[in-house]
Structure 1
Amino acid sequence: MAASIRLAALALALLSGLAHAHGGGAGDETVSPVAQAQLPASVGTDAKALRVEFAPGATSRPHTHPGPVFVVVVAGEMESSLDDGPVHTYKAGDTWYEAPGQAHRVTRNPSKRQPAVLVAWLLSDGKAPLVKPLALKP
């Protein structure tokens, strides 16, 4: 119960911040939304922010997540493809959203010289593994 109250408070704080952005913010800062998604009714009560580093040319196996995922590219570039969609290239500052159970088939750093860094916010029930590998198609 306390975790759900904390998650609700975090969501309220984020929404309040966006509301301030439309009115000029709380001070001299500039606030710009970078991602938005309609979340499922029961997203869970566990939220984790993970820093994920990819060496030049590194990839991740195809996988899914049990809950919604918001990703921000912090440094470098990443290539990503969800379900059977096209591969998109994301640069530092770009974001993407993954729906619960959505197949993340391509995750790779296309650079042969530069590392890439992501920050991923994963929501879950706190019990299921945060990453479930998918079987590779022949």
Structure 2
Amino acid sequence: MNLYINAICFTAAALLSSGVMAHGTGSEGETVTPITQAVVPPQAFKQATAVRVDYSPGATSAAHRHPGHVFVVVLSGEVESAVDGSAPQRFKAGEAWYESPGQLHRVSRNASNSEPASLVAWLLFDGKAELVQPVTLKK
């Protein structure tokens, strides 16, 4: 089990590193570009889960929270996202954002009414709470 926890911590540290890491040494034609980073408190995460979200044109997610750290990368299309009280931001394929544990993700939707969109979210958490915790917004 310690090996598993160490592997997750190493992976998280590698993802969060401020340095650019190449896949090998001296690779020609390879460009590695950081797309997002966040400083997270030192702790052993018990679970790391990656999910893919595919949005149909015009689709939206219900407001929700996540129990742990979330790193999101848009794979295709454009996605609008807003956490807590911030204004919605539009993210294109290849762009990313970070969500702190417990932040209210009040807007998450496909920005297009005619094209699909996809994203991948990596969630680091204690493994005890539900990954997605729905929230009912007051109107």
Q: TM-score range with shorter-chain normalisation?
A: 0.7 to 0.9
Q: Which residue of 1 aligns with 2:50?
A: 49
Unaligned ranges ≥5, structure 2: none
CA distance in 2, matches of 1:108, 1:10: 28
Q: CA deviation at 1:97?
A: 0.4
Q: Which is richer in helix?
A: 1
| 1:116-135 aligned within 5 A | 116-135=117-136
Aligned residues: 135
Q: Which residue of 1 aligns with 2:77?
A: 76
Greater CA drift, 43-52 or 96-105: 43-52
Structure 1 residues 70-103: Cα deviation after superposition (integer angstroms, max 9, x where no partner): 0000000011111011011111111010000000
Asked if 2 retains the 8 angstrom alpha-carbon contact of 1:43 and 1:67, the reply is no
Asked if 1 retains the 8 angstrom alpha-carbon contact of 2:63 and 2:134, the reply is yes
Q: Quick one: structure 1 residues 54 and 42, their matched pair in 2 at CA, closer, same or farther if it must change by over 3 Å?
A: same
Unaligned ranges ≥5, structure 1: none
CA distance in 1, matches of 2:40, 2:90: 24
Structure 1 residues 84-128: Cα deviation after superposition (integer angstroms, max 9, x where no partner): 110111111110100000000000112111000000000111121
| Identity among equivalent pairs (%) | 51
Q: Which residue of 1 aligns with 2:8?
A: 7
Structure 2 counterpart SS, 1:70? strand
